[in-house]
Amino acid sequence: MRFLLTNDDGIYAKGLSALYKELSKEADCLIVAPEIEQSAVGHAITISRPLMVRRATKNDVFLGYAVCGTPADCVKIGITELSGKPFDMVISGINRGGNAGINVLYSGTVSAATEGAILGVPSMAVSLDTHKEADFTYAAKFARKMSRLILRHPGQFKGSAINVNIPFIPREKIKGVVVVRQAQSNIVETFEKRIDPRENIYYWFAGESQAARKQKDTDVGALSSGYITVTPIQYDLTRYDLLDALKSVVKQNNF
């Protein structure tokens, strides 16, 4: 077994280290991760400038490849150029901060897994729902278990990324594992307007995901209720339910 590990918090992040430690028991793991933090970069890729790749070390031992790019870049170059051997799975994380609801679209962690799926490798994103310093041990153990389950059905999960969120509560308080849809709740959008030392106005995005907490069949709702959430993610963004309506709108008109 060979796994590609990446993240969006950067190659030296604790969550990635915990993931590596645990998944190395399961597979030969290669880390290809961003040189610096890339949170909220979504599915950005780097096309206008080159990608520098550095052999990163930790205590003088090879840690992995540090890429001056986005999580999606790391997956692309990891699979296409740096590995030499095919991967059985791409695992992205463990992210510091949940990636549920609309945040899935902004998440570099999830986009890395989506990129793996696009490239035909079963993929998974794993996030721990806290922005504080945290212990990732349990989340890593869960990631290992999920990876085994997914790899037992490689045909079924080819072309799909699995988005996993783990609540930041004591292990014994976790209520279970649920498979749920992505919440479509709006983030409550606010910007803080501030004045810089030179009296220029600037803005800081302060949006918070707050709605849909009560929808238990969604990732946002179940996660906030103490469940580990599992959501399959696609990369076909077509809104199929609107195709026919649009067709009739376009048909009625001569262009």
Length of the chain: 255
- Residue 155 near a copy of itself by CB under 8 A: no
- Residue 199 near a copy of itself by CB under 8 A: no
By CB under 8 A, name the one of 186, 210, 216, 226 that touches a copy of itself.
186
What span, in angstroms and rounded, lies between the C-alpha atoms of 40 and 103? 8
Residues 234, 160 contacting (CB under 8 angstroms): yes
User: Taking the complex as a whole, how short is the minimal distance between the CB of residue 238 and a copy of itself, in angstroms?
Assistant: 4
- Residue 165 near a copy of itself by CB under 8 A: no
Q: Beta strand 89-96 with 2-6: parallel, antiparallel or unpaired?
A: parallel
Number of residues that bind a copy of itself (CB under 8 A): 83
- Residue 1 near a copy of itself by CB under 8 A: no
Q: Between residues 28 and 81, which has the closer beta carbon with respect to a copy of itself?
A: 81
Residues from 5 through 64 that contact a copy of itself (CB under 8 A): 37, 39-48, 50-53
What span, in angstroms and rounded, lies between the C-alpha atoms of 211 and 184? 9
Nearest CA-CA partner of 108 in 205, 183, 36: 36
What span, in angstroms and rounded, lies between the C-alpha atoms of 179 and 160? 14
By CB under 8 A, name the one of 6, 114, 127, 215 that touches a copy of itself.
114
By CB under 8 A, name the one of 21, 57, 81, 86 that touches a copy of itself.
81
Nearest CA-CA partner of 71 in 44, 98, 100: 44
User: Taking the complex as a whole, how short is the minimal distance between the CB of residue 230 and a copy of itself, in angstroms?
Assistant: 6
- Residue 169 near a copy of itself by CB under 8 A: no
Q: Between residues 59 and 182, which has the closer beta carbon with respect to a copy of itself?
A: 182
Retrieve residue 201's tokens.
């106005």
- Residue 181 near a copy of itself by CB under 8 A: yes
Q: Between residues 61 and 243, which has the closer beta carbon with respect to a copy of itself?
A: 243
- Residue 40: which region, alpha, beta or left (left: phi > 0; alpha: psi -120 to 50)? left
Retrieve residue 78's tokens.
């990891």
* Binding window for a copy of itself (CB under 8 A); candidates: 24-32, 87-95, 190-198, 208-216: 190-198
Q: What is the three-class DSSP state of 60?
A: coil
- Residue 119 near a copy of itself by CB under 8 A: yes
DSSP H stretches of helix in 78-218: 103-106, 108-118, 137-151, 154-157
- Residue 197 near a copy of itself by CB under 8 A: no
* Binding window for a copy of itself (CB under 8 A); candidates: 13-21, 88-96, 126-134, 179-187: 179-187
Residues 230, 178 contacting (CB under 8 angstroms): yes
User: Taking the complex as a whole, how short is the minimal distance between the CB of residue 215 and a copy of itself, in angstroms?
Assistant: 13
